[in-house]
Structure formats: structure tokens, C-alpha cells
Chain A
Amino acid sequence: MTENKFKYIGRERRTKEDKRFVIGAGNYVADIARPGCLHLAVVRSPHPCARIAAIRTEKALALPGVHYVLTGAELEEYTKPLQQYLDTPNVRWYSLAVERTRYAGEWVAAVVADSRYIAEDAVELIEVDYEPLPFIIDPEAALLPEAVAVHPKHGSNVIYRRTFSWGPVAEDFSKADHTLAFRTRWHRSATVPLETFGVISEWGPGQDILEVWASIQMPQYVEQIAAALKMPQNNIRVHYDVDVGGSYGVKRGIKHTVMVCYLAKKLGRPVRFIEDRLDNMSGGDMHGPDRSFDMKVAFDKSGRINSLKIRVLDDVGAYPGRSPLQLGKPIGAIVGAYRIGSVEYEAISVTTNKTGQVAVRGFGQSPTNVALETAIDRVAAYLDLDRLEVRRRNFIRPEDFPYLIPSGTTYDSGNYPAVLDKALNLADYERMLVRRDELRASGVAAGIGIATCLEPSGGNSAFEGLLNPSNESTTFLEAVMVKVDRNGTVTVIINTTTSGQGHETLVSLIVGEELEREPDQIRVVHSDSLNGLWTHSPVGSRMAIMMGGAAAGAAKKLKRDLLRIAAHNLGVAEDELAYDSGTISVAKDSTRKLSWEQLVIIAHRQYQKMPAGMEPALQSTFVLEVPSGGNLPTPDGRIQMYPCHSFQAHVALVSIDMGTGKPTILDYSIAHDCGTVINPHIVRGMIYGGAAHGIGAAFYERFAYDEGGQLLSQTFMDYLLPSVHEVPEIRQTEHCTPSPLTSHGQKGVGEGGYLGAPAAMASAVNDALAPHGKTLDTLPMRIRDIWECLNLA
């Protein structure tokens, strides 16, 4: 392990946020009590597709305590449709169904009452006349020309379709010694935060400000509320000091928010909507990618992979929103960790009568990584080579960085062979092989899973313009303000909610490091959308890089101001000064110095001692654009997607009960490289949680629909999350290849566990099945699926 050159960064320090959560003093949206607050409940459609002939609300309105019933027709009249990120003007999406329902569970009406209990009583009294219409559930069938269109005015179910070709694909395939093809299926799953989505809104008529408290993790939240409500953005105040009880991408909530804001303003009372689990699972923002990959691989007899052809079909459900862009982000790491010279990528996004898809951790990367890592294992099996050897032969080598992949992204840094070796050492791989074979000899199926994953980080919006040429925005900034008060204490202002990432810890460590002030004594506060600066929220593993980088930038500016003040008062040039923990002295005569306190007094109170023309007081802001950002895509669809590229290697041993198909993870090791670790606890927690999340996607979690378009897994009885019994102890070790693009060499780490684990589990199960001549390429690999694979022809 390299020596840690930092004072606070990378040290085993407690996180700043733990205390309030451990003592039960978090401030979640459901904890926010507004006087006179009304409660909302929704009527859910039982039909996957039906014309709404009539909604009769009289009985509900007659119930004591009921204030209002809102329908889609009213929303259509007074609000604008919610944003689509592709150029699809005829896909119109509102908070409540307008004219027809497009999935079972879609919200058709909303009741506002004195309590959620009364609101639910009233929901039962609302009579909706539905005229059922034909619907489509299967994504392949939805592609066919004769398929029923989910949005008839759009003309078909195809929301996005483009074939990218980067490099000499046809030539590479024709020259290859071998080719192989296979299909992987990633069924619809998600992330399941303990806290469902919730929002409270209140209209302050005196100030004409719409207040919003929400459990939110979403870029462009405020401007989309403003657009939908046709309201100036500075009439809306989103409070970012609300703790968010988990998100991992899904806490978007724009449809909830527009409806609640509209009602709060209309009724002149605070309105609150806290989803219950049924609202959340069936009709909320909960369903992630739902994909099949048709993979073709061209490779030579040594196992070197020359080219890939990927056709991916993603079922985005009824309302696409931002979700088609989840086919875009994987382009930034389309070759994974490997030197693959050319790639064809056909990306198809299709609507069906299912719940709309939303962003999930990794933004489409995890299903893609399963397909890529399966390709490596297949090549190894085809050539009868060791899976590790094939990976090593194809790895981008340490000396290759910065490395340009065919689709236009340059990877910043990495050392993949070293990280893989660390994972193998941690797993005691030779011993693991012996153990696997002993298990096989004892009559169970057993397999070792090997997977690597690239984690593109530093969250950028490059895929927006790539998939939608009419969108020329290339900026995905993050801002931080640092200020020192008259008593010398430091406060940092950040401009987004936090859903478990530990932003307060992050910026206090970075500002503390830069100013050499104790991080525990640095206050970090969340602004609101009116009094703070700008954010694009914690998406795409970006905040260590972006918020951390902005915090470093602001602290450095503030330190320069201190040096300028000191130079002026000590009568020397700035470059003749030494800075030590806030005290500034003349480098060659340390008796001539000004303490932190003295500098603060000058800045705040003694204008006569300030350099001419300098602003009084001590504060600085820094707005950071994504490193390597600011570019539009080339016509052939190449672009620098994200700036930084973390890497992980997963090694796991899985046994399978041949009689029941039940898998057990016996051993699990992960080696990871996210550059400079800022707080080891947060990094380890992210990796453990991410891997647990990936184990869920690999074995348990599935939003399954029946042929009638009904969602079968609406509660935790049927949507199965892995628990402490299923997630094993996971050993971790780290490697550090600093990023040259970030303030302290850090990269992102919020997604890698989830990107590696499903691929590792698929690899383990297939290694276990291999002696039985079987393969299983569908996730989740439920016990019934494994059993059927083993026992049925």
C-alpha cells in the first residue's frame, strides 16, 4: 500500500452523518410536520391499458375529511407534460393518467384528505369506468410493426433505435479466427430504498413561494417542476436539507411532485404524499432496466478479442422519461476493461404496458457488464483457456493509459492486472479451486465466479446529446461555497440532498485537507434551491469527483485570499510565505507570522489592513465543470462520456444444491481501485452495499408480469430482497491508481459493487453448471431457474 500523504483524507475517521442517524435524529421527509397538512392517496388502474370513460368522485367527496379529488383531465388542462429526454413530442406523460391508462398500477386519480387513512377510505369510493383496450407486454413483440402502440400518436413502440459502429467491425469479424454468439437476459429489477418516495409542498401566498420538501435525488428537479407548473423557477424553493433514506437512482419523483405542488397551490394548504410500498412498487419510480443482449464476439485463437457486435433491447415500460438514456451511458465503457478494437452497438428502446423505467445505480452499466463478462467466459470456454488468462491477455495494460476506447472515451488511469491479482490473493484462489472441486466431488454443483467491472464516474450528461442531437447541453457542473465567519469557524454550503453518500464527510475532509483545519469542526450545510448555488445532484458516481473537486477549488481560492492578506500585512510577496494549519509565516523567518484568528479579524473587521481593492470577509465559491466535459458527440457517435474510471475485480465461490437448485455464496472477495480513498468507511460501505444489491439482481429480485399485464411482485412477499442470510461476508482490499483529472486523485465508488456482483454471480453459476453441460444466461437466476436448467432438457 502506498503511503498516505494526506492529513485527513483516507484516514480511518468516523463519518459526519452517522451520529444523527444512529441516535434517530435524521430529518426525513415524513418527519417534516407542516401545520394543517393534508394527505394524498392515489387510485391505481387495474388494467394494463384501458380507456377511462368516466371517473365518479361524488361518494368520495361526500366522505367527511375529504378535500379534493384530482384527475388527469384537470392536470392536462393546467400543467404541461413531464419531460421526455428524447425528441418524442407525442409521448405525453402526466402525473395521472389522461384519457387512457398505460400500465396496471398507473395512477388515475388522487384524493386529498385530512389523513392518509381517510384518503384511502375515499379511494375505495371512487368509481372509474374503464374500457379495456389491447395491450403489449413482451418487448420483442412490441417491436413488430403490427404491435399495439402504447402511445398511438407516436406511431410505434420504438422510442430509440440507432446502430453505432466504432472501428472496423466488419473487417475484424471477417479476419477473426473464431466467432461466437449468445444472448443474455436481464429481467426488470431495481433498487429498493427502505424509504419510499415522499414529497410535501406548501404555497406561501404572502411570498408567492412554493415550498417543496422531498426525498429526492434528481438532476434538474426544480426546473422541471417550474416547467410543468408553468411557474417562474424562482417561485419554487426545494429544501435540500431533507435526509433521503436511500435512492441509488430511483428517487426521481417528478410526477409525484408536480401533482402535490399543483394541489398545494390550488388548495392553499400543505399537501403531503408519502408513497406506501404498494404505490411505490407498482406505480412509483421503481423499475430499472429490462434488457436482452444479443452478443457476437470475434476473437483469435490466443483468446484476444478483436471485435464485438451488441444488440440491446431495453423495455422502458409505458413512459420513457429519462430511462432511454440508460442505453447511452454504457457506451462510455463499452469494451469494459479490455483492448477490443471495434464495436457495433445497436441500441433499441421500446415501450410496453408496464410501469415506466427509471434510473438505477450504474445507469444501465450493470446489465451491460454481465453481457461483457459473459463474453470473456464464453471465449475462454470455447478455446478451453483459463478465464483469468483470457482476461489478462485482453486487459488494457497499465502502460496504455490514458486509453482511448473505440466509442470515444479516454480512460484516465488504472492497473487492472494488479487489482485482479489482489482479488485472487484475497480469495486464496488456488485453495478456492481445491475447495470447489471437493464440493463437486461431494455431489453438489459448485462454481467460481470471476468478474471485473469498469465504473465510469464523475457523472456527466454526455449521453443526452449523444442520444438526442437536439440537446446541445454539455455542462453538468457542481458548485460549493466555503465561508469563514467572524469567529474563524468554517462552514461549507452544498446544494443537493444526500441519499447516503456522506457528502458532509466528503467536503469536510477535503476542505479540512486544503485549509489544514480539523474536519470535525467544519460545518457542512445543505442549501435550498433559492439561496444556494447549482447542482446536478449525486448521480453517476460523481460527488467525490465533482462536489469534492468544487470544495477543493473553493478552499484553494479562500486560501489564496488568506495568503494575499498575509503578504500585504507581512510586507512580503505571496510566494515567500508558508502556510501551516491556518497560520501564515514568512518562509525564511517564521517569527514573522499571522495566525488564522488574526487573519480572520483582518478580513472581517479591519478593512484598513486589507490589500487595496480586495473584498472584505472570507468566502469563496467554486463551480466545477466535469473534467473532460464540454464536448458534443461526433457524427458517428463518439464522445468522452465520463472522466474517471474506477475498477473492481470480484471472485466468489458458489455452491448449488442439485436437488433444489438453491445457490449459496460460500466465499466472496473484492479488490477495488477508486483512486484516492477519501473516507475508507464510506468506500467500504458503498462496495458492500453495492455487492449486496448486485446479489439481489443476480438471484432474487424481479418485477414479474403475467400474461394479463399484471405485476406479480408488488410486495416484499414476492419481490425478494437478499437479507443478511443471503449476503455473505465480503472481504475487500483496495488498490490506488490516482486519477490525473481530479483534485486529490479520487474516482467514483458508488456503483462498482453493483456492476461487478451480478456478473460474478452469473460467472459462478455457469462455472457450476459447466460440468453438467448447461449454461444459464438469464438474471435473476432464481432457484427454480437454476433447477430447471439443471434438470430439464
Chain B
Amino acid sequence: MKAASFDYVRAGSIGEICELLAEHGPMSKLIAGGQSLVPMMAMRLTKPSLLIDINEVKELKGISAQSDNLIIAGGTRQHQIEASSEVKRFCPMVQKALFWVGHPQTRNRGTLGGSLVHADPAAELPLVSVLLDAEILLQDADGEESVAASEFFLAPLVTALRPDQCLVRVSFPIWSGAVGGSFHEVSPRRGDFAIVSAAAQIALDEAGNCSRVAVGLGGVAATPIRVFAVEEAILGGGLAKTQLHELARLAADEIDPEGDLHASAEYRREVAYVLIERALTDAVQEARARMGASS
């Protein structure tokens, strides 16, 4: 488990990163936290000839709230996001997802951008970015490009990121109203990739009706997915407990997961049903509590 030979360069700016990527193309790889890349290199599953270290690039770090969006730079460590009061205030769903990501040691090194570009179909941060309709800003030597999270993830470990592009930042829309969210997952052990994860976020208007909703699943398809049929049904007025139960069933019946060592396809489908129901129930409950607190 020794990596194949590679060159290493430390970049100082996004401009420099883009120049290096333009010059070296697909044989180069960016490294930030290295939590997925380094094991893959050690097992020689990937053999980049050049590693571009982006850890010193200041433009790639930071969290800020701008009008309707929470902006998190791609190189921001997961633990900083976890501890951020702005994230807690404007987009707590991201922290709810991070609760399930790895361990403190891996979150101290791992970055938001690193998790998104790795695109494990069971990973939590890709799911939360799809759930919240995040916009992912990519940059190459010729300029910037914004890609919706729903169009970013293409297949397991495959994204819309071109080899000459760098993920610069992610914009998470800030929801208004009484917002509740919940993230449930099951894995054999704490910190493992999820067998199934389910996330739901809901906003209630002053009358207590649903004004906005997002429901997503991880681990059940090639990429994280949204369950639009359920969202539409909820927007149509289905918030009662019995309805949530039926909607969860509807969601589970729509998916077509695969089996592996840790779970059968049937397990994934049925547990997706269980977790969606829990996520919806908790999200509604939290939104109602918020509504009560603000009135």
C-alpha cells in the first residue's frame, strides 16, 4: 500500500491551481484533506503524476452568509463547518449531515469540496447539497461556471467537474419561515459510510402549512437523490402522521437500490422507508416547534 511515484506542488492561489490543472490535465489531482484520495493512492486505485496541494490557498477557505445564500469555500474543513455559528443559524441542515460524517480526526482534515468531488453515493455532504439545491462554483483557467448540485453528481465517484476545474465554493440557499430539518442514517458502526441515509427539510408558513420542502436519500442509487413525488404530495397538504407514513412508503417504492456485502437491495429499500418516515416526522416536529417559538 505504497503510492506510485508522483510529483508534488503547493499552489498559492486559485489562479495558480487553474494554471497547473490546465498544464497537467487529467494526470494531476488536487489534494486538500486527502481523506479519500490518499487511501486510494496507497492502494494504487488512482495514480496521479502530480499532486497539487491546495491547503495554503486562502480564497478556498471560509464561511459567509450573503443575502439568500450561505457560502462555504471548497477547502473549508468539515470541523469548521461543524463548529460555525453562521452555519448553525442559516443552514443547520449541513451540520446535521456532518454529525454522521466520519470521526473528529477525519473531519479535522476533510473538506467540503473534497467530499463533493469524491462523490461517494452514500456520503452525507453530497446528499445535503442535493437536498438543499446547492450551487457549486467551479473554476478553470478560462473562468467560472456554476453547476446545480442536482446536475453535479453523475455516477458513483463521477461528477461534472472537468479535470481542469477546481471546486471553489458552494452556495446553500437560506430558507425562510419556520424551518425544520432532520438527517437519519444507518451504518453498521458510527462513522461508516451510510447503508442508507434520509434527509428532510421543511418550512412552514404562518398558518402552519408547508411552504417549501425537500426530501432526499443517500446510498440507494448511483448518486444522492431527491424524492420529488413526496415533496409534491407534502406541498399539496399532506403533513398528518398517517400521510407521512404513506409518503415514506411511496418514496421507498420509487427507488431501485443495489445490494452489497453490508446490505441487500431489499434492506436498503425497506430501511429507506423507515428512515424517510423518521426524517419527515422529525423535520415537521422541529418546524412546528420553531413556529411556536417565533409566535
**A725 and B189 contact, Cβ closer than 8 Å, known pairs A116-B2, A659-B274, A791-B270:** yes
Q: Which of A721-773 contact B (CB under 8 A)?
A: 722-723, 725-726
Question: Is the Cβ of B1 less than 8 Å from the Cβ of A722?
Answer: no
CB of A278 closer than 8 Å to a CB of B: yes
CB of B256 closer than 8 Å to a CB of A: no
Question: Is the Cβ of A726 less than 8 Å from the Cβ of B2?
Answer: no
A723 contacts across to B, CB distance below 8 A: 189-191
Once the chains are docked, how many angstroms separate the CA of A349 from the CA of B118? Answer: 45
Q: How far is the CB of A721 from chain B (nearest CB, A)?
A: 8
Which of B13-21, B80-88, B106-114, B261-269 lies at the interface?
A: B261-269
CB of B5 closer than 8 Å to a CB of A: yes
Once the chains are docked, how many angstroms separate the CA of A660 from the CA of B197? Answer: 11
Which one of B43, B186, B188, B271 lies within 8 Å of A720 (CB-CB)? B188
Q: How far is the CB of A159 from chain B (nearest CB, A)?
A: 28
Question: Is the Cβ of A784 less than 8 Å from the Cβ of B5?
Answer: no
Once the chains are docked, how many angstroms separate the CA of A791 from the CA of B263? Answer: 14
Q: Which of A638-676 contact B (CB under 8 A)?
A: 657, 659-662
Question: Is the Cβ of B186 less than 8 Å from the Cβ of A662?
Answer: yes
A-facing mask of B1-12, CB < 8 A → 1, else 0? 111110000000
CB of B192 closer than 8 Å to a CB of A: yes
Q: How far is the CB of A521 from chain B (nearest CB, A)?
A: 40
**A660 and B262 contact, Cβ closer than 8 Å, known pairs A277-B1, A278-B1, A723-B191:** no
Give the interface size bracket for B toward A: 20 to 34
- Chain B: which residue is nearest A659 at the CB level? B274
What residues of chain B have their CB less than 8 Å away from a CB belonging to chain A? 1-5, 43-44, 186, 188-193, 195, 261-264, 266-267, 270-271, 274-275, 278
- Chain B: which residue is nearest A117 at the CB level? B2
- Chain B: which residue is nearest A721 at the CB level? B189
Once the chains are docked, how many angstroms separate the CA of A121 from the CA of B195? Answer: 35
Question: Is the Cβ of A659 less than 8 Å from the Cβ of B271?
Answer: yes
Once the chains are docked, how many angstroms separate the CA of A705 from the CA of B73? Answer: 42
CB of A300 closer than 8 Å to a CB of B: no
Question: Is the Cβ of A120 less than 8 Å from the Cβ of B2?
Answer: yes
Which one of B190, B191, B261, B264 lies within 8 Å of A704 (CB-CB)? B261
Once the chains are docked, how many angstroms separate the CA of A725 from the CA of B192? Answer: 11
Query: 8 tightest CB-CB pairs across the interface, nearest first?
Result: A659-B274, A725-B190, A276-B1, A660-B186, A117-B2, A712-B261, A120-B2, A784-B263
CB of A782 closer than 8 Å to a CB of B: yes
B189 contacts across to A, CB distance below 8 A: 700, 720, 722-723, 725-726
Give 8 A-B pairs besides A659-B275, A787-B267 with Cβ atoms closer than 8 angstroms. Answer: A278-B43, A713-B261, A718-B262, A722-B189, A782-B262, A783-B186, A783-B263, A784-B264
Number of A-B contacts (CB under 8 A): 67
What residues of chain A have their CB less than 8 Å away from a CB belonging to chain B? 116-117, 120-121, 124, 276-278, 657, 659-662, 699-700, 704, 712-713, 715, 717-718, 720, 722-723, 725-726, 782-784, 787-788, 791-792
Q: How far is the CB of B35 from chain A (nearest CB, A)?
A: 13
Once the chains are docked, how many angstroms separate the CA of A713 from the CA of B271? Answer: 23
Question: Is the Cβ of A117 less than 8 Å from the Cβ of B5?
Answer: yes
Once the chains are docked, how many angstroms separate the CA of A784 from the CA of B266? Answer: 10
A784 contacts across to B, CB distance below 8 A: 195, 262-264, 267
Main secondary structure of the interface of B (DSSP, over half): loop
Once the chains are docked, how many angstroms separate the CA of A277 from the CA of B39? Answer: 12
Once the chains are docked, how many angstroms separate the CA of A792 from the CA of B264? Answer: 12
Q: How far is the CB of B63 from chain A (nearest CB, A)?
A: 28
Q: How far is the CB of A655 from chain B (nearest CB, A)?
A: 14
A-B contact list, 10 entries, CB within 8 Å: A117-B5, A121-B4, A278-B43, A712-B261, A717-B193, A718-B261, A723-B191, A783-B186, A787-B271, A792-B266
Q: How far is the CB of B232 from chain A (nearest CB, A)?
A: 25
Q: How far is the CB of A113 from chain B (nearest CB, A)?
A: 11
B43 contacts across to A, CB distance below 8 A: 278, 715
A117 contacts across to B, CB distance below 8 A: 2-3, 5
- Chain A: which residue is nearest B43 at the CB level? A278
Q: How far is the CB of A17 from chain B (nearest CB, A)?
A: 26
B4 contacts across to A, CB distance below 8 A: 120-121
Once the chains are docked, how many angstroms separate the CA of A117 from the CA of B267? Answer: 41
A713 contacts across to B, CB distance below 8 A: 261
Question: Is the Cβ of B1 less than 8 Å from the Cβ of A121?
Answer: no
A116 contacts across to B, CB distance below 8 A: 2
**A726 and B190 contact, Cβ closer than 8 Å, known pairs A121-B4, A660-B274, A784-B267:** yes
Once the chains are docked, how many angstroms separate the CA of A117 from the CA of B262? Answer: 33
A787 contacts across to B, CB distance below 8 A: 267, 270-271
Question: Is the Cβ of B271 less than 8 Å from the Cβ of A788?
Answer: no
Question: Is the Cβ of A783 less than 8 Å from the Cβ of B188?
Answer: yes
- Chain B: which residue is nearest A720 at the CB level? B188
Once the chains are docked, how many angstroms separate the CA of A329 from the CA of B192? Answer: 37
Once the chains are docked, how many angstroms separate the CA of A792 from the CA of B1? Answer: 41
Once the chains are docked, how many angstroms separate the CA of A787 from the CA of B193? Answer: 19
Question: Is the Cβ of B188 less than 8 Å from the Cβ of A788?
Answer: no
Q: How far is the CB of A622 from chain B (nearest CB, A)?
A: 45
Question: Is the Cβ of B262 less than 8 Å from the Cβ of A725?
Answer: no
- Chain A: which residue is nearest B184 at the CB level? A660
Once the chains are docked, how many angstroms separate the CA of A694 from the CA of B195? Answer: 24
Q: How far is the CB of B210 from chain A (nearest CB, A)?
A: 24
**A782 and B191 contact, Cβ closer than 8 Å, known pairs A712-B261, A718-B261, A787-B267:** no
Q: How far is the CB of B185 from chain A (nearest CB, A)?
A: 9
